[in-house]
């Protein structure tokens, strides 16, 4: 819909002789009412999204299984603080369980193998969490694909 050349009010094609708001005669004189194809003028992808790659669930799953104790799955998702916290939690769990099993178990090699197994099982669980939770977002707010 075109606008009045005097006051800028939107007018219909029936109000081409007199503007109902300001009373201007011939308010559409010199104003083009042609439609414009604007989709050809808009770039579909902005420059900051050109290099965007959505993070993958399967990569998070594999990172969580193989190097999950290091927080690599969180670092991959741009969750840096959560990755650092996950690393320290895993180290505390491993160190605490190793100390408990070392002082209370009679087999020394078992006191180091059992905490590794428990930490590994926790990280496998987190890997399945990343794989099967559908509404999980990365650090930039995008869903994992």
112 pLDDT band, cuts 50/70/90, is: confident
Report yes or no: 24 and 15 within 8 Å, Cβ to Cβ.
Answer: no
Q: What is the model's pLDDT at position 33?
A: 55
86 and 119 housed in the same domain: yes
68 and 126 housed in the same domain: yes
Residue 9: inside a domain: yes
25 and 68 housed in the same domain: no
- Bigger pLDDT: 10 or 52? 10
122 and 66 housed in the same domain: yes
Task: Kindly list the distances between the CA atom of residue 122 and the CA atoms of 32, 65, 93, 104, in Å, as whole numbers in the listed order.
Answer: 67, 9, 10, 23
What integer is the mean pLDDT of 69-83?
Answer: 94
pTM reported for the whole predicted model: 0.62
Q: What is the model's pLDDT at position 27?
A: 76
Residue 50: inside a domain: no
99 and 127 housed in the same domain: yes
């Amino acid at each position: 819909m075109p606008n009045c050349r005097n006051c800028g009010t939107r007018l219909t094609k029936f109000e081409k002789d007199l503007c109902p708001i300001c009373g201007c005669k011939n308010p559409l004189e010199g104003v083009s009412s042609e439609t414009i194809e604007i989709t050809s003028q808009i770039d579909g992808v902005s420059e900051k999204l050109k290099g965007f790659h959505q993070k993958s669930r399967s990569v998070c799953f594999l990172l969580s299984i193989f190097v999950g104790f290091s927080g690599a799955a969180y670092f991959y998702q741009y969750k840096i603080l959560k990755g650092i916290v996950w690393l320290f939690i895993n180290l505390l769990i491993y160190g605490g369980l190793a100390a408990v099993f070392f002082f209370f178990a009679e087999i020394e090699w078992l006191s180091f193998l059992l905490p590794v197994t428990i930490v590994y099982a926790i990280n496998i669980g987190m890997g399945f969490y990343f794989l099967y939770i559908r509404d999980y977002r990365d650090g930039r707010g995008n869903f994992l694909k």
